[in-house]
Structure 1
Amino acid sequence: MKLVLLICALLIGAAGTQAAQLTFRVDMGMRTVPASGVHVAGTFQAPAGFPANWNPATTALTDPDGDHIWEVSVTVPAGVYLYKFVNGNTWSGAEAVPTSCGLDDGGGNVNRQVVVGGAAVRLPIVAFGDCATQLRFAVNMTGQTVSRAGVHVIGNFQALAGYGANNDATALPLRDDDGDGIYEVQVGLPAPGLFQYRFVNGNTLAQAETVPAACGTADATGTLTRVATATAAVNTTPSYCFGACAACSGTPITTYATHWWNDAVFYEILVRSFQDSNGDGKGDFAGLTQKLDYLNDGNPATTADLGITGIWLMPMMESPSYHGYDVTNYKATEADYGSMAEFEAFLAAAHQRGIKVIIDLVLNHSSSQHPWFQQAVSSSTSPTRDWYRWSATNPGYLGPWGQTVWHPRNGSFNYGIFWNEMPDLNWRNPQLKAAMWDVSRFWLRKGVDGYRLDAVKYLVENGPTLEDTPETMTLLEEFHDSVRAVNPAALTVGEAWSNTRAVLPYVQKDRLDLCFEFDLATSIVAAVNQGSATNLRNQLNLVTTLYPKLQYATFLTNHDQNRVFDVLGSNLARMKQAAALYLTMPGVPFLYYGEEIGMAGSGPDESKRRPMQWTAGSRAGFTTGNPWYSINPNYTQFNVATAQADPASLLNHYKKLIGLRNASETLRKGYYLPATASAAPVLAYARVFGQEAVLVAANLGSNAAGNPTFAIDMSTLVAGTYQVTELYGGQLAGTVTVNSQGGFSSWTATGLPALAGNQTWMLRLRSTTATSTASAQPAFAFALFPNPAAGGPVRLALAAAPAAHSQVQVFDLVGKQVYTGRFAGNTSALDTNGWAAGTYFVRVQSGTAVAVQRLVVER
């Protein structure tokens, strides 16, 4: 019954997917067929349009040429189906399917199974009540990020097995029904033989695994493939790791997917306010190019530049507004900023310095002056009328913050969530969608490295439900595919200004790569202002628990918020601490231009987006003309030139922090662990990557915290002695002994002055011994899969021969034990049902050997 329910669930999940033809064929040559004929029944019948599943009389096969091969074709959605043939039209004539090629439903009833993917399936001829040669493919996807398109298998067996043409990457999906990380499928073949195959993480040939030479055999094109021997009645391939020649179970899983953006520090720029090159008072591409050496001069040996490695340009497409969020031409640059050639020159200069560039893409709305909208307004029969939302009467509902969203225009009402001059696009219109996908490809072909998406949660409305709709999620999946078709490495980061839990769906299922973490930003600033670590610690634990590891964008404030310098009361010590926090936390950091020099700005949006302050001279060095908006009054004190000359300035503090992050793989890619400190105002956490850790200790109070003690309950660090260095000051801070659980307690740094108010230590731990304190313990490792787990069973596999019994304990991030048990042998199972989503540490002890592994549970 459990299996049947699982299959039904799979079929429900497949509803609405691409339909394919499925042909059943059975050889009745050894049977006497009654006048009622031959039928087939199973779970495919209702999806194929028959009244009900498992009806032995409704799906008839025919034998028009009298060769005793009876067949029928039906059209079904992609999915997994159970079936059996019936000689006649009642269950008394049902075949007895051998267990070697069928699935037992748990009650002794055995059925055949077929998997339907994205292509027609014409099953091999099988004798009634008999089996064809069975070949089971299996691959272990442990440690892989499985594509939204799933896992497939390709090879020269496909045509024989009825799965269309050989090497069709869409035809034959594999399943991981029991959640153990091993994806598998079983097919029937008309005859034994040797077959070549490869696995595909996705559904295109470009996503096929590269088979190592150690286990690869060249096919006719010279591509290395795996080889399956199918000479027995039932044949099974080894469940090796994807792209490997060996099983995964011997390798501890301490890795997770990272990308180029996890190595980056981004800088947000309003082009209009950065640097004016021609004296018209407006920043431009040429001015931006002139100032690239300030951001990153392309020489890692120099220290004069800020060191950022990514730029986010606020809207730079043609627009009637200073901010650019109402676009009139999605394929043109804003004339105030310069020509397309000047933009391309900037892009090339940035890339030459190793700086990635992403640009704002406004998908939610256009300008009311866009030709599309002008045509739509001119006539109710205009080709672009349906590219926007219209109503003959006012529907009456308001927007999320009580604003008017239906605006009168020419006798009708037009929908615009932000402003009557920024009408929302109607993403339900296929022509509009095609035009915008074309835009998304246009700039990628120019060479931009990705997009920041404005107002992403408002894209597709569902009646009065204006945000976070399922249709928006589906649209983002399509957007992801459109972008990746041009640049598989492009970054997408969204503005879904919501609480953390509401943001999560936007970074799941291949929608967006990152979203800005507004709740974390608010918590950082509040913790520094209030001198309290509690709420920030809780938010950090929540973010680390819920998001895909490291995949969120961190910041302090942005162009829509009062500048952080004002929010922190113009307090430079607090500014330095806030910077130290988000530049040492997990995630991808984004600085807002001028943040690093203490630019102020509150109130109207224009005040938050004033011209950059380069010097204490006339017009702050921004322009030789009249600036488009007034310069900040504090520019004579807070500017780049003055800050560069002061070793203790905020700017030089930012340079130091960014340089440390750029130099430290642990600060860029390490996972997060909460740590404890003996002083209440001190927030402590660790970043761990490989066998190195950085312990961050931030004294949020205004008074010195002395020399507090620190503790970490558990980590993946091996036991031994670690040298500690305070990275910011470059001072040695003693040693710490890491125990067999990867933790330590009551440790105090030595050789450092007291941790001052609003000061942050970055304490790097590097091993000086090879498990010196655990020399009596044998090498020991285990694996967990699937990891991450989605609830349900998790398989634990020991890599070495265990003692008679092993003990397993599971702890959450704050050290609370959530499970304990004992098992014999090399494997055990953990049932994670009922566990909250989050990160756990699994500790296994077998005799005197101890190992610790991280387990992530997702919901």
Structure 2
Amino acid sequence: MEVIILKIFSRALLFSFLLSFGIIVGCTTPQEPKQHEGTTEAIQQEDLISSYPNTVFYEIFVRAFYDSTGDGIGDINGMTSKLDYLQDLGVEGIWLMPIHPSPSYHGYDVTDYYDVHPEYGTMEDFKTFMEEAHKRDIKVIIDLVVNHSSIEHPYFQDAITSEDSSYRDWYIWADEEANLRERGEWGQPFWHGEAPNNYFSVFWGGMPDFNFYNPEVRQEMINIGRYWLEEVGVDGFRLDAAKHIFPKDKDQNLVWWKEFRSAMEAVNPDVFLVGEVWDLPQVAGPYLEDGLHSTFNFDLAEEILRATRSERAGSLVPKLIRSLQTFERYASDFVDSTFITNHDMNRVMSELRGNTDQAKIAASLLLTLPGSPFIYYGEEIGMEGAKPDEHIREPMLWYENGGDGQTAWIKPKHNIGTEAPSVEAQLEDPNSLLNHYKTMIYLRRSQPALLFGDIVESNVKEQGALTYIRTHNDEELHVFHNLSKGELEISLGELAGNVIFTSTTEYSLTDGMLKLPAYSTIILATN
């Protein structure tokens, strides 16, 4: 694969760069660049636009990522040793799945909110990780699970022993009016345990919900947040189950997140709070009004996969525009956190049945659409994974034939045999999915219109193509993706502009007719 910059967009004073693995793209920097005509020159990472939180994030499951001790379990020091890899990839933010002590492999049932899991290392290890990440201008947000604790948390263990426990009112208990057969939105039971200790849990019996009507609970969660910001130095939180805090009182959910945001911003005005509100934009939108800074765009994730699988644009762009307009009604400075799949969903490559060409197009969509993209570890090398959850969280594959640091926390069902992907192999292959991700991340972080711009529907339509316009100030970039396995001929009509990026040298643009090869992308500066 070759990626080539053909001409310079004079208004933006674009210049081109050659990545170390031989891929050429066009870019801009926030400084005053020199103007060039059809030339290339190296770009350094320090020339990329730094725009946190409007940037690219990388989600890590610590247990699966990199093992520094040889016990088969990923750990904090292992992550620290791979910060250079993440910096080279171009990410500016890391989201860590739960790192607190927990009896479960996934960590979403916490037993101590003020420490790290002993299998992952020590608090000093984590502070070193934070220091090293910040040296590389990488911010870190951690999963904060405030909706519920572990059934083994000392608070719950105390509460269940006696109705007179000082922690009794920290949880939700059935009274005589409770419907113990009540079920939730996906058919799960709400009530667990036995009388007189039937307790409420939205998810499962091992994770009893906190009672947020109790001001002591709310204050403790604020204290926990303050601790991680002040004492440990994290940059924000991914807030699990954000819409379930008051399971039967949506308005109180909104009040709580405003209270939490105010308390966190008093500690760090630049704190970033992104919430899991797995619902329609109309439901997620109100959480952005002086509450969460961002929510994950689950609708867009579904649309990216649907368009890529079907090789048809469908309604992706108009639906996204409507979603963004909904969010805009509640907050002008919201951040739309975008992704393709995450730790709760089948992996991208499994959804695409192993089709690397489609995986590249999915990445191109994610990284040229608006928002702050989140990449799930291993997505960039095409790791596969399907439910149950353990097998969408399999060990990250660093080497072709195993090696120091490879985790073994679970025996994989996917990503095995000679065809399994690896970082080692793909770094050496200029046509690899990994190098495609790197190219697209560098492209994004070099173009203000891709980082900050609005999205507008394009009048240029063609079956099998997905097109849109990204606008920022006086810049206008027209993005064309060929989603299909065949070459497309796209009539541009009166549209004219300079090619600033293409993922292939096999295209042609003559007399208003664009010939775009299968599974490729081209971007024109059209003003």
- TM-score class, shorter-chain normalisation, is 0.7 to 0.9
Q: 1:491 to 1:333 in 2, by over 3 A?
A: same
User: What pairs up with 1:732-811 in 2 under 5 angstroms?
Assistant: 747-748=512-513, 754-765=515-526
For the 8 Å contact 1:377–1:410, the answer to whether it is kept is: no
- Give the Cα separation in 2 of the matches to 1:389 and 1:610: 35
- Give the Cα separation in 2 of the matches to 1:265 and 1:706: 32
Q: 1:730 to 1:265 in 2, by over 3 A?
A: farther
For the 8 Å contact 2:497–2:525, the answer to whether it is kept is: no
For the 8 Å contact 2:281–2:327, the answer to whether it is kept is: no
Give the CA deviation at 1:759.
Answer: 1.5
**Residue 57 of structure 2 is aligned to residue 276 of structure 1:** no
Which of 291, 314, 327 is matched with 2:110 structurally? 327
**Residue 297 of structure 2 is aligned to residue 517 of structure 1:** yes
User: What pairs up with 1:376-525 in 2 under 5 angstroms?
Assistant: 376-393=159-176, 394-396=178-180, 397-409=182-194, 411-445=196-230, 446-462=232-248, 469-507=250-288, 509-525=289-305
AA in 2 matched with 1:481: S
Which deviations, in whole Å up to 9, do the C-alpha atoms of 1:161-217 show, x marking residues without a partner? xxxxxxxxxxxxxxxxxxxxxxxxxxxxxxxxxxxxxxxxxxxxxxxxxxxxxxxxx
AA in 1 matched with 2:138: I
- Give the Cα separation in 2 of the matches to 1:385 and 1:338: 32
- Give the Cα separation in 2 of the matches to 1:733 and 1:700: 17
Give the CA deviation at 1:725.
Answer: 2.4
Which deviations, in whole Å up to 9, do the C-alpha atoms of 1:33-69 show, x marking residues without a partner? xxxxxxxxxxxxxxxxxxxxxxxxxxxxxxxxxxxxx
Which of 295, 308, 319 is matched with 1:528 structurally? 308
CA RMSD of aligned residues (A): 2.3
- Give the Cα separation in 1 of the matches to 2:212 and 2:499: 55
Which deviations, in whole Å up to 9, do the C-alpha atoms of 1:611-669 show, x marking residues without a partner? 1000111369514xx53443744364300001111110000000000010111111100
Which of 551, 566, 585 is matched with 2:350 structurally? 566
Look up the match of 1:367. Answer: 150
Look up the match of 2:36. Answer: none
Give the CA deviation at 1:603.
Answer: 1.7
For the 8 Å contact 1:676–1:710, the answer to whether it is kept is: no
Which of 300, 307, 325 is matched with 2:90 structurally? 307
Look up the match of 1:546. Answer: 326
For the 8 Å contact 2:63–2:409, the answer to whether it is kept is: no
Which of 368, 393, 410 is matched with 1:609 structurally? 393
Three-state SS of the structure 2 residue aligned to 1:312 is strand
Look up the match of 1:691. Answer: 474
Look up the match of 2:452. Answer: 669
Give the CA deviation at 1:701.
Answer: 2.1
Query: Unmatched 5+ residue regions in structure 1?
Result: 1-258, 297-304, 713-720, 736-745, 768-859
For the 8 Å contact 1:675–1:711, the answer to whether it is kept is: no
Select the structure with the greater relative contact order (CA < 8 A; seq sep ≥ 6): 2
Give the CA deviation at 1:733.
Answer: 8.2
**Residue 501 of structure 2 is aligned to residue 726 of structure 1:** yes
Which deviations, in whole Å up to 9, do the C-alpha atoms of 1:262-299 show, x marking residues without a partner? 53100000000000000111000000011111110xxx
Which deviations, in whole Å up to 9, do the C-alpha atoms of 1:652-689 show, x marking residues without a partner? 00000001011111110011111022422211101111
AA in 2 matched with 1:461: P
Identify which range, 694-703 or 318-327, moves more after superposition.
694-703
AA in 2 matched with 1:291: K
Which of 125, 140, 144 is matched with 1:357 structurally? 140
Query: Unmatched 5+ residue regions in structure 2?
Result: 1-49
Three-state SS of the structure 2 residue aligned to 1:336 is coil
- Give the Cα separation in 1 of the matches to 2:193 and 2:389: 26
For the 8 Å contact 1:292–1:350, the answer to whether it is kept is: yes
More helix by share: 2
- Give the Cα separation in 1 of the matches to 2:168 and 2:524: 60
Larger Rg: 1
TM-score by length of 1: 0.53
Give the CA deviation at 1:755.
Answer: 0.8
Which deviations, in whole Å up to 9, do the C-alpha atoms of 1:701-748 show, x marking residues without a partner? 221112432678xxxxxxxx854423546999879xxxxxxxxxx954
AA in 2 matched with 1:295: L
AA in 1 matched with 2:209: D
Runs of 4+ in 1 over 4 A off after TM superposition: 727-735, 746-749
TM-score by length of 2: 0.85
**Residue 66 of structure 2 is aligned to residue 285 of structure 1:** no
- Give the Cα separation in 2 of the matches to 1:677 and 1:635: 44
- Give the Cα separation in 2 of the matches to 1:366 and 1:400: 21
Residues paired across the two proteins, number: 471
Three-state SS of the structure 2 residue aligned to 1:634 is coil
Percent identity, please: 41
Give the CA deviation at 1:389.
Answer: 0.3
Q: 1:708 to 1:621 in 2, by over 3 A?
A: farther
Give the CA deviation at 1:693.
Answer: 1.7
Which of 479, 489, 492 is matched with 1:709 structurally? 492
